[in-house]
Structure 1
Amino acid sequence: MTPGSNLPLAAARVAVTVTAPVRLDVSGLLLTVGGKVRSDDDFVFYNQPAGPGVSHRAASDGDTITVDTSAVPAEIDKVVVTASLDAPGATFAGTEPTGTVRDADGGAVLATFTPPRLGPETALVVMEIYRRGGGWKVRAVGQGYADGLAGIATDFGVSVEEPAPPAPAAPPAPVPPAQWAPPTGAPAPVAPPPQAASPAPQAPAPATGKINLDKGRVSLRKNQTVSLVKGGRPLLASVRMGLGWEPARRGRSIDLDASVIAYGPDRDKIDSCYFGKLRILDAAIQHSGDNLTGDGAGDDEVITVHLGGIPPQVTGLVFVVNSFSGQKFSEVAKAYCRLTDAQTGEELVRFDLTGAEPRTGVMMAKLIRQYSGEWEMTALGDFVDARTVRGMVKPAAAAL
């Protein structure tokens, strides 16, 4: 499976095992349609190995969350399976955990997923088992957090209590820094000696381990992702996706068409916005109109997206460019897409397409709505043979 992809479950009882070259703590959270647990009893992990319809089993070859869909309460919409690193201070950079979904009774493998492009994350939502149309499905997620299992638990409404330090009988005497060391396996004390060594500066951690907009404009390479979050808040204002290109040979115009396709959670097409249909989703998405040459400075075609106005049934947007006249992208130079703030014109994210193939369509980027409401933008740069947006529907769905 790839991030965002989903499959119907052929078994009523499924077991999700998460494995990695290092020790992981795996847990399951039962969430309502609001994306939160009903109480802390809906958090299933090594210290609370059983919940309604969900159980945890620890093993040397990977912890397993088993979901009996017939026993999951009716008000529970999904069960998310998470993984966090057991070693303090470790991140998923260089570590590739894999989630494997099996028939819990027969043992047959139903799906596998390895989240790509991991870096500073210390915890992940690996997969989710969710209701859809009277049945159950599994979706590959791969959403990262920088503040460990506690960050995931808090995000989904679990009360996380920090361990209280023991109360000293008398004011402690100063301890020389050279003699102080934390006991092996114990939590770091609340107030360590002033000169005690610390493995890393204790700066406030962001809500997730993904790249966001806090440091200004982000330049993406192919398959990189940025979370549209600034100052800890999701960007839900109006943005513009500008797409531009130039003829590879001077004096020869090239007619390309930029479009966006809107998809639902099952990768089903909801609508598409292009030069022949300039407004969709009650004008939440608007197209600037057709550019017939590619000449001139600036964006050739612009698609405005009112993020806060996108209907909840739309979970993904894929931006594509096609050559209706049949000219190949090997005849195109300096193709790019860039996301700007529609109010200020500030450039937020840019992706410059490097390389070209003699094909008539390219998927430039996708926007995916996350659990917490923010959107993520991923650079694609994948070429296909399609001269119209209609021919892009299937390959773009597969890219979600």
Structure 2
Amino acid sequence: MTQGANAPLSAVRVSVEVTCRQRVDVSGLLLTRTGKVRSDADLVFYNAPRAPGVTHRPASATVPAAVVIDTWSVPTDVTAVVVAVSLDDPAATFAGSDPTATVRDTATDRVIATFTPPRLTRESALLLVEVYRRGADWKVRAVGQGYADGLAGFAADFGVSISEPAPAAAPPMPAYPPAPTTPPAANGTAAPRVTLDKGRVSLVKGGSVSLVKGGRPMLSSVRMALGWQPAKHGRNIDLDASCIAFDARRERLETVWFMKLQVFNGAIQHTGDNLVGGGGGDDEAIDVHLEGLPSEVCGLVFVVNSFSGQRFTEVRDAYCRLLDATSGEELVRFDLTNAEPATGVVMCKLVRQYSGEWVMTALGEYVDAKTARGMVKPSAALL
């Protein structure tokens, strides 16, 4: 399997075996729809080898360590079992060690899938594969998400408290490292994560907001809207809004722009091109059905270009805002308060977290490019 790929499980009971060139500890996490465990008992590892439907199998002279999953016995409120691996040596990393997950049918020993994550460097823990429900069926997905702080890092990310302390200087690494949610407080401690719990959020450059309310991902469909005023001295200006979709390797998958108005079977759709702006409201918009995006889409970057060639110093009152596409409620707003003499700007990004939530970060980075084609490399560098 390649990273992000999925496959159906043709067996009721499977083992996920892990081999590696270094000594490793294999774990399983039982997750609900929120992307969190129900309690600490949902972490299955060598010190706690059993949970309903999930068992840790230690390594022996003939078989590697594994997590065994009996899908018929997994509780109905558990929607996924994630198999993770951490290094026995806390000072080591996975660079060059090629950890590999092998999914087998326990009844026949037939190999269903194998996965080795690419490009490992400073990671000391990995989420290798996910066995998850899709309706009445079960599937397996290749994940390969890394953490730099071992077992404690990914356990805490999914709501598990364990005795092993996590090093304070080693944050977890999701598919893309997100920008800090809020700036650090004056005393150096991290400020609370910004969510949608208190309603509409106004972002400044570099600020982030998690699209979560009440601890759960809030939205299935969103609209990113753009507005601006005509250039000085009454001249019209043609700004174009585009959306670039990237995978976990920061490789472009698709671009929605005025030359291609929809991708992924309509999961991302441009509402149409406005040639002048200044219509008294949103001038262009892009609708995104988050739940309809392919699993390999890890990041969306929204960019704006001046096709007519004017610089953004000649544009007034440019902004982007995120709305609930169903209700039309404005959720997040980012105003370009300062402009630079360039023809393109990377407005913001939406990054998918492993837990399923999306985080929006205001960027406001200027680039000399008149169309979305020239924005791919600068956008990838900002993920």
> Pick from 23, 38, 44: which aligns with 1:39?
44
Are residues 1:392 and 2:375 paired? yes
| Aligned counterparts of 1:141 and 1:397: Cα–Cα separation in 2 | 22
Q: What per-residue deviation string (whole Å, max 9, x for no partner) do you get for residues 308-342 of structure 1?
A: 11111111100000111211111111111100111
Structure number with larger C-alpha Rg: 1
Contact 2:261-2:272 within 8 A present in 1 as well: yes
Q: What SS does structure 2 have at the residue aligned with 1:153? A: helix
Q: Which shifted more, 219-228 or 244-253?
A: 244-253
Letter of the 2:155 counterpart? A
Shift of the alpha carbon at 1:253?
1.1
Moved over 2 A (4+): 12-15, 27-38, 40-43, 50-57, 63-79, 126-132, 135-142, 151-161
The residue number in structure 2 matching 1:258 is 241
Q: What SS does structure 2 have at the residue aligned with 1:226? A: strand
The residue number in structure 2 matching 1:271 is 254
| Aligned counterparts of 1:141 and 1:225: Cα–Cα separation in 2 | 22
Shift of the alpha carbon at 1:281?
0.8
Contact 1:239-1:339 within 8 A present in 2 as well: yes
Matched ranges for 1:35-74 at <5 A = 39-41=44-46, 54-57=86-89, 64-67=91-94, 69-70=97-98, 73-74=101-102
Are residues 1:381 and 2:381 paired? no
Q: What per-residue deviation string (whole Å, max 9, x for no partner) do you get for residues 215-242 of structure 1?
A: 0011111111110001211023211101
Check 1:292–1:70 CA distance in 2 against 1; reply closer, same or farther (3 A cut). Answer: closer
Q: What per-residue deviation string (whole Å, max 9, x for no partner) do you get for residues 326-379 of structure 1?
A: 111111111111001112211100111121111111000000000110111000
Q: What SS does structure 2 have at the residue aligned with 1:257? A: strand
| Aligned counterparts of 1:320 and 1:258: Cα–Cα separation in 2 | 6
Shift of the alpha carbon at 1:296?
2.0
Q: What SS does structure 1 have at the residue aligned with 2:232? A: coil
> Pick from 309, 314, 318: which aligns with 1:326?
309
Q: What per-residue deviation string (whole Å, max 9, x for no partner) do you get for residues 162-192 of structure 1?
A: xxxxxxxxxxxxxxxxxxxxxxxxxxxxxxx
Ranges in structure 1 where 5+ consecutive residues have no aligned partner:
1-11, 16-26, 44-49, 58-62, 80-100, 103-109, 112-125, 143-148, 162-207
Ranges in structure 2 where 5+ consecutive residues have no aligned partner:
1-19, 49-57, 60-64, 66-84, 104-113, 130-141, 164-190
With the length of structure 2 as denominator, give the TM-score of the two structures.
Answer: 0.60
Contact 1:54-1:65 within 8 A present in 2 as well: no
| Aligned counterparts of 1:340 and 1:246: Cα–Cα separation in 2 | 20
The alignment's C-alpha RMSD in Å is 4.1
The residue number in structure 2 matching 1:153 is 155
Shift of the alpha carbon at 1:64?
2.8
Matched ranges for 1:79-228 at <5 A = 129=126, 153=155, 156=158, 209-228=192-211
| Aligned counterparts of 2:157 and 2:147: Cα–Cα separation in 1 | 19
Q: What SS does structure 2 have at the residue aligned with 1:392? A: helix
Check 1:286–1:137 CA distance in 2 against 1; reply closer, same or farther (3 A cut). Answer: closer
Contact 2:307-2:371 within 8 A present in 1 as well: yes
Shift of the alpha carbon at 1:31?
6.1
> Pick from 335, 341, 344: which aligns with 2:318?
335
Check 1:138–1:217 CA distance in 2 against 1; reply closer, same or farther (3 A cut). Answer: closer
Letter of the 1:221 counterpart? V
Letter of the 1:368 counterpart? V
Letter of the 1:259 counterpart? S
| Aligned counterparts of 1:339 and 1:327: Cα–Cα separation in 2 | 25
Check 1:280–1:131 CA distance in 2 against 1; reply closer, same or farther (3 A cut). Answer: same
Are residues 1:294 and 2:326 paired? no
Q: What per-residue deviation string (whole Å, max 9, x for no partner) do you get for residues 108-138 of structure 1?
A: xx66xxxxxxxxxxxxxx8865779xx9988
The residue number in structure 1 matching 2:219 is 236
With the length of structure 1 as denominator, give the TM-score of the two structures.
Answer: 0.58
Check 1:140–1:370 CA distance in 2 against 1; reply closer, same or farther (3 A cut). Answer: same
> Pick from 300, 304, 317: which aligns with 1:317?
300
Q: What SS does structure 1 have at the residue aligned with 2:91? A: strand
Q: What per-residue deviation string (whole Å, max 9, x for no partner) do you get for residues 28-86 of structure 1?
A: 8756898998722399xxxxxx99674345xxxxx63544834655359699xxxxxxx
The residue number in structure 2 matching 1:356 is 339
Q: What SS does structure 2 have at the residue aligned with 1:74? A: strand
Shift of the alpha carbon at 1:285?
1.0
Shift of the alpha carbon at 1:283?
0.6
Q: What per-residue deviation string (whole Å, max 9, x for no partner) do you get for residues 237-286 of structure 1?
A: 21110111113414111111000011111111111111121111111111
The residue number in structure 2 matching 1:186 is none
The residue number in structure 2 matching 1:194 is none
